[in-house]
Structure 1
């Protein structure tokens, strides 16, 4: 990325300070921790597995298509791919997380004078990737860089959840993040190369953990 403003905007979108509430969600990890996912090695396998089986095959290629649709002003494609991603969130908690974080980012972008975001503040099929794609399009951020930032931010939130719920030490968390430096570029490349018919991905273990977390008696996280 050659332009300093784009780099700084990318850092803004990936920052934990972005007020979208991502820190409040564990995406099923909290239930998994209570049921045996309780050390650095298991956490590393959990998050890297999710990135490789779900984010690389689903989130990354859809983020690319949403970015292209916003660039082209193709609102039908924006609606299509946002709805596709929303429908791919397999539990009530995962869908509620999508709605909350996407709505928060839509409101923020509208406040930052990206007015295309306003209709998505309460859109019934709003997704975080859609609003991220809109920001990336309007701020001229390269799609590969945008996908890398998205995966890094996702990884940071998962590691932060592990640090709180295992509890996992800060140094162990940094070791997991360091491994992501190798994993993320591979996931981005593979995801960006997928054809429409190849898009999809799920992790049965995470889906079950997320569903069971809805009735977990004591919890720190909303999902």
Structure 2
């Protein structure tokens, strides 16, 4: 891409992954609220470790693999339909299913301001990483930047969740983002070379927290 095209792609990714983009990400914690309630995450270092596991070995890694496959499949409707079905099937709990499907649908609705013929068949409920990957692929943003932006957005949202749950203040939250920067960058590079065979999660405690959140008696977040 030319410098101008690079800048345009960057601006689109910044916009799509912005907290202001209307996907409702602020409403979801992916089980982090339960982890805070259970005393599993109590401070900034603990949050950094939790997020690192998610990005390298947990649900965020799976999202990165699905995004990469969707990016590559954006011009192949049948291939994209297959990854779309797989992504929905991989949701590990009722709330995680709600989280990824509603955010994906909302993302596609908002991204319609950047129309592309290849996205006409991608309507309705679509898992969030599939929606982002397909849109980014259609607009040729570059796969690695799209992955980095998606993972950074996910981590940033969870840092915000932790702040609202009283785990730490904003200054320490920014510190967590700085600490995780090389983790996000490295995972984006690794996901670029991934295939669907690389799907898999070893973040068992996080998965259990997402399940247990469904019965949390008083909560701020929908997942």
TM-score (norm 1): 0.91
Shift of 1:199: 2.4
Per the alignment, residue 155 of structure 1 pairs with: 155
Shift of 1:138: 2.7
Distance 1:108 1:116 in 2: 16
Per the alignment, residue 65 of structure 2 pairs with: 61
Alignment of 1:61-100 (within 5 A): 61-70=65-74, 73-100=75-102
Distance 2:154 2:118 in 1: 24
Q: Contact 1:56/1:191 (CA < 8 Å) preserved in 2? A: no
Q: Give 3-state SS (helix, strand or coil) of 1:46's partner.
A: helix
The verdict on how the C-alpha distance between 1:131 and 1:188 changes in structure 2, with shifts beyond 3 A counting, is same
Shift of 1:120: 4.1
Instruction: Please say if 1:183 is aligned against 2:217.
Output: no
Shift of 1:200: 2.1
Q: Which among 101, 104, 108 is matched to residue 102 of structure 1?
A: 104
Instruction: Please say if 1:24 is aligned against 2:24.
Output: no
Q: Contact 2:29/2:158 (CA < 8 Å) preserved in 1? A: yes
Q: Contact 2:118/2:138 (CA < 8 Å) preserved in 1? A: no
Residue deviations 1:20-47 (CA, integer Å, cap 9, x gap):
0011101101111011121111111111
Q: Give 3-state SS (helix, strand or coil) of 1:214's partner.
A: helix
Shift of 1:115: 5.7
The verdict on how the C-alpha distance between 1:117 and 1:218 changes in structure 2, with shifts beyond 3 A counting, is farther
Unaligned 5+ runs, structure 1: none
Greater shift in the superposed pair: 49-58 or 77-86: 49-58
Instruction: Please say if 1:42 is aligned against 2:46.
Output: yes
Distance 2:118 2:98 in 1: 22
Residue deviations 1:168-208 (CA, integer Å, cap 9, x gap):
10011001000121111111122222343232224211111
Shift of 1:16: 0.8
Greater shift in the superposed pair: 93-102 or 76-85: 76-85
Alignment of 1:125-140 (within 5 A): 126-140=126-140
Q: Give the root-mean-square deviation of aligned CA atoms.
A: 1.8
Distance 2:57 2:114 in 1: 34
TM-score (norm 2): 0.91
